[in-house]
Structure 1
Amino acid sequence: MNQKIQKEVSGYANFPNYSIQLDKGGCRVQLIGNDIPLYTAFEQGGFSTLLPFNANILQSGEQTVTIKIYPDAGKTTFDDYTNASIKVVYFEDDKNKNSARKIVQEYKIPKEVIDKKLNYFEASIKFKATVPFNFSKQFESAKDLKKRKNIETEVVAAYHKIHSWLAKKDVKSLADFRKETDKKACLAYYLDTEQEIEERFDYTFLFENNSKADPLPKYTMTFYAGGKLVRLERIDNHDEILTVTGKTEDGYEVMSDLSVLLYMPEGSEELKQF
């Protein structure tokens, strides 16, 4: 697989990089990229980060970023402290540290929304992207999971299986389960050295601090991509429910999560990691 990834990446004519700059304060934010979960920022106070977006791109063409904005923890409406904005940042050549940086689209929560003291607001921006990869075939042929009679039972069973791997520190099963996802990430972010690729498929990092699997919390089941994708999310912040917690040598508690997003390929009756 390493050789196949290296060969495919080396065949790319260019290496465009698309990222999302998120800035927020006085609110909680959830980002969805092309109807695929991208990031949740439910921390209190100000927060700013640049998020890689290439893995949310299935193919060249029009892309959509949706921002969902909620009042800050402990508040029921937006107020004068509320601010949230996103920018689509384009780097022409990901292999060149001096590559030109360009803002291709941006959005900021309107003042009138804040003045109305709403308790929720959602908006989307669109932009065109050109990438050297295409993952759309796998996605287009996926089954509509909303039509499956016992889908929640199937999803919960899949999560319990993954949780058992975390509890047993079974890094091989975790790596096998996420193999296709990590392969796509290597191609989307142009990983072409043996070390980069091997690190992407290595899940020993989850247990570096003698971490142990946390109990599964209360969850809500959420569909994405018109029902082709599904995952279980924490009720309080829409985040991942599979986590491990450990302590550093200095005694600091650290938590890591495992990203899970399930789909069912055409001709299969098994939920797999997308």
Structure 2
Amino acid sequence: MELTKKEILNNKKTYAEKPYYTVKLQVQACNFELLLNDIPVFSYSVKGGMTNEIPLNSYILKSGRQYLKIKLTPINNQLKLSEQVDLSLDLGHSSIIGENIFGGYIQSGNYKLPQEIKDKQLPYLEMEIPFNAEVPWDYSYILDNAEDLSRVGNLDPFVKKFHKLLEQKNSKEYSEILKNKIKRQSDVKYLSEKEIDVVVKELDLSRIKKLYPLEDYEVKIYANGKLIRFVSKKPDENGNRYLFKFAVPPLMPGGNDGESALNYLFYLPKGKEELEIF
């Protein structure tokens, strides 16, 4: 773990400007999915209303034109979007000027679901909002140098191998396939050494108390075939379709075990045989 932390710290860069892009959302009465540059960012089943501010830096691979996509579908197995459906958002960025200190917010775009769209009670609604972003990094090579996984054959051996890795609590191999992701995340989120300590501790798989068996799954494809996610065919009571699920010890002594899951995106670097975590 110390070696992994050292590599992450060695990758950290010093930037004169530290833009921090977010989207501020208000959503009501729908299943909601948000993607940036065809990379899944956030999804939720909103039965009442939800207000949230979602960080976007991790999904911006380089400066230039970005594409924010929003998908709305009916809740509760309804065939059409409810007349109560609603959506509004503000898109923009602040600048980090100190530890946990943000400068003024600069808006890049906004959107409000028109009443005439609500009145139509559509079975599905999708919209795309383009905006420009200026960031001090370029990680576009990750997907530029990745294989098109939509053309790759049977991925079941990898799924079983990854599940076995979790079952055996093989923290060393797990940290190795996660290392590049953490390097990038610590860079684009401007993580402090203390925050990196927290992330590295999560690489310790000994926290897994019980790994749940694999379920029937399917493969979701993103980013023009460069990214995939393995999802259970059977959603849980909240609509989540996590495949790699496990129990963790209770937060408080005498409490019940908690539940957690890993919901990674995977890619295959050209010239390699093993999938890596994006």
Bucket of the pairwise TM-score, normalised by the shorter protein: 0.7 to 0.9
Counterpart-to-counterpart distance in 2, 1:87 and 1:102: 10
1:169 aligned partner, one-letter code: K
Counterpart-to-counterpart distance in 2, 1:243 and 1:29: 22
Residue 21 of structure 1 contacts residue 88 of structure 1 at CA under 8 Å; is this kept in 2?
A: yes
Aligned counterpart for 1:58 among listed residues 57, 61, 73: 61
Residue 269 of structure 2 is matched in structure 1 by 265
Partner SS, residue 146 of structure 2:
coil
Shift of 1:252: 4.6
Residue 49 of structure 1 is matched in structure 2 by 52
Counterpart-to-counterpart distance in 2, 1:64 and 1:206: 35
Residue 233 of structure 1 is matched in structure 2 by 231
1:200 aligned partner, one-letter code: V
- Mark the runs of 5 or more structure 1 residues left unpaired by the alignment: none
Partner SS, residue 26 of structure 1:
strand
Taking structure 1 as the reference length, what is the TM-score of the superposition? 0.87
Residue 200 of structure 1 is matched in structure 2 by 199
Alpha-carbon spacing, 1:247–1:196, altered in 2? closer, same or farther (3 Å): closer
Residue 25 of structure 2 is matched in structure 1 by 22
Residue 22 of structure 1 contacts residue 50 of structure 1 at CA under 8 Å; is this kept in 2?
A: yes
Aligned counterpart for 1:99 among listed residues 97, 103, 112: 103
Report whether the alignment pairs 1:34 with 2:41.
no
Aligned counterpart for 2:244 among listed residues 239, 242, 245: 242
Alpha-carbon spacing, 1:87–1:242, altered in 2? closer, same or farther (3 Å): farther
Residue 29 of structure 2 contacts residue 46 of structure 2 at CA under 8 Å; is this kept in 1?
A: no
Shift of 1:94: 5.7
Shift of 1:86: 3.0
Alignment size in residue pairs: 268
Counterpart-to-counterpart distance in 2, 1:15 and 1:131: 8
Shift of 1:160: 1.9
Counterpart-to-counterpart distance in 1, 2:95 and 2:78: 41
Partner SS, residue 96 of structure 2:
coil
Residue 129 of structure 2 is matched in structure 1 by 125
Alpha-carbon spacing, 1:254–1:102, altered in 2? closer, same or farther (3 Å): farther
Q: Which stretch shows the higher mean deviation, 172-181 or 127-136?
A: 172-181
1:250-261 equivalences in 2 (<5 Å): 251-252=255-256, 254-261=258-265
Shift of 1:4: 5.7
Alpha-carbon spacing, 1:55–1:38, altered in 2? closer, same or farther (3 Å): same
Residue 186 of structure 1 contacts residue 197 of structure 1 at CA under 8 Å; is this kept in 2?
A: yes
Deviation per CA, 1:153-190: give whole Å up to 9, x if none. Answer: 22x32222222222233333222221111111001111
Residue 212 of structure 2 is matched in structure 1 by 214
Residue 181 of structure 1 is matched in structure 2 by 181
1:176 aligned partner, one-letter code: E
1:188 aligned partner, one-letter code: V
Taking structure 2 as the reference length, what is the TM-score of the superposition? 0.86
Alpha-carbon spacing, 1:170–1:27, altered in 2? closer, same or farther (3 Å): same
Partner SS, residue 178 of structure 1:
helix
Partner SS, residue 90 of structure 1:
strand
Counterpart-to-counterpart distance in 2, 1:218 and 1:22: 33
Counterpart-to-counterpart distance in 2, 1:111 and 1:218: 40
Alpha-carbon spacing, 1:60–1:204, altered in 2? closer, same or farther (3 Å): closer
- Mark the runs of 5 or more structure 2 residues left unpaired by the alignment: none
Deviation per CA, 1:166-216: give whole Å up to 9, x if none. Answer: 2233333222221111111001111242x32232233257765x6422223
Alpha-carbon spacing, 1:239–1:100, altered in 2? closer, same or farther (3 Å): farther
Deviation per CA, 1:124-155: give whole Å up to 9, x if none. Answer: 1111111111101121121112222x1xx22x
Counterpart-to-counterpart distance in 1, 2:246 and 2:219: 21
Q: Percent identity?
A: 28
1:58 aligned partner, one-letter code: L
